[in-house]
Amino acid sequence: MPKLSPRDIRRKIQGIKNTRRITNAMKVVSAAKLRRAQELLYASRPYSERLYDVLRDLSAHIDAQTHPLLERRQEKNCDIILVTADRGLAGAFNSNVIKKAEELIAEKVSADTGVSLILIGRKGYQYFSKRGYRIIKGYDEVFRKEINFSIVKEVGQTVRERYTNKETDAVYLINNEMVTRVNYKPVVRTFLPFEKPKDGGESYGVYEFEVEKEEFVNKLIDLYLNYQIYRSMVESNASEHFARMVAMDNATRNADELVKTWTLIFNKARQEAITSELIDIVNAVEAMK
């Protein structure tokens, strides 16, 4: 590395300070967005969980022939819905959930199961589209403003049609999920077919239908498909803001350390320059004697 002059070092320090201002601003913005995203997340969770419990319990009480989405069959093909972010600069947020998806894909391929992908978020689509995977549909610009519910409905409809037409035998949903307010992790859920309740688990009793059974089950399943996808996107959105806030906080701290380090280098370089000039003056004086 060539030796830098004090002027070059001063420019480098200023560049680091400019970067620090950007990372600090991004941290503040992510913190503000995180609060709003967490409020939406914790408001949606109870409804989502109870909806899942009711439908799972209902699937154990009614004939599987009532609806094609309740049918269980040998898993020859499966679909994976992967939710990532549209942007980077969020630490390992995207790489962790992509790694989790690759692990599931490898497990299914080793069992001779065909795998197709539905990718929500630009980062996931960019990654898998370059690696020869079968992609049904990819979506980007999903999290720029509010979560686009039309995408939720479109994905739900796609999954419904593929399972009904027996193009797929199982659907898995992978996304980052907030475990606590200060921690998140990638999770894998079986989206279809519905998991039957374990023996001795909570049950909602006997069901009596006051409307047509098929109509009721149809509407409930549609609601389930859409809302579980929506919740996964809400979970991912909150996790992304938290990950970016942490990443930008670390970047800001690193910038502070770099400023200190390069300031010391600058001071040493300036002292060396002053010493060199003094030596030249002394030598010139001695030569004039």
Task: Please report how the helices 213-288 and 6-61 are oriented relative to each other, as an axis angle in degrees rounded to 10.
Answer: 170
- 162 and 254 co-located in one domain: no
* pTM of the model as a whole: 0.84
> DSSP string spanning the chain?
-PPPPHHHHHHHHHHHHHHHHHHHHHHHHHHHHHHHHHHHHHHHHHHHHHHHHHHHHHHHHS-GGG-GGG-----SEEEEEEE--S---STTHHHHHHHHHHHHHHHHHHTT-EEEEEEESHHHHHHHHTTT--EEEEE-S-SSSS--HHHHHHHHHHHHHHHHTTS-SEEEEEEEEEEETTEEEEEEEEEESPPPPPTTS--------SS-HHHHHHHHHHHHHHHHHHHHHHHHHHHHHHHHHHHHHHHHHHHHHHHHHHHHHHHHHHHHHHHHHHHHHHHHHHHH-
Asked if 146 and 252 sit in the same domain, the reply is no
The fraction of the chain above a pLDDT of 90, given in percent, is: 52
pLDDT of residue 66: 64
Identify residue 175 by its one-letter amino acid code.
N
Instruction: Please tell me whether residues 158 and 18 are part of one structural domain.
Output: no
**Residue 200 pLDDT class (50, 70, 90 cuts):** very low
284: pLDDT strictly greater than 90? no
Q: Tell me the two tokens of residue 166.
A: 């027996």
Look over the chain and give the mean of its residue pLDDT values, rounded to a whole number: 86
Task: Quote the pLDDT of residue 16.
Answer: 94
- Rounded to whole angstroms, how far apart are CA atoms 244 and 90? 4
More confident residue, 287 or 142: 142
Q: What is the pLDDT of residues 170-192, one digit of tens each?
A: 999 999 998 887 889 999 998 88
Q: Are residues 47 and 66 in the same domain?
A: yes
What is the structure's pLDDT at 80?
96
* pLDDT for position 234: 93
Task: Provide the residue range defining the domain that includes 254.
Answer: 6-23+248-288
Phi-psi category of residue 219: left, alpha or beta, with phi > 0 → left and psi -120 to 50 → alpha:
alpha
Same domain, 213 and 70: yes
Res 165: pLDDT: 92
How many Cβ atoms from other residues are within 10 Å of residue 54's Cβ? Answer: 14
Residue 188 and residue 100 in one domain:
yes
Judged against a pLDDT cut of 90, whether residue 30 lies above it is answered with: yes
Task: Provide the number of structural domains found in the chain.
Answer: 2
Do 210 and 112 lie in one domain? The reply is yes
Looking at the fold, whether 18 and 97 belong to one and the same domain comes out as no
In a domain? residue 30: no
- Please determine, for residue 98, whether its predicted confidence score (pLDDT) is greater than 90: yes
Is 31 contained in some domain? no
Q: What would the pLDDT profile of 202-256 be if each residue is shown by its tens digit?
A: 555 566 667 676 777 778 888 888 999 999 999 999 999 999 999 999 999 999 9
pLDDT at 145: 75
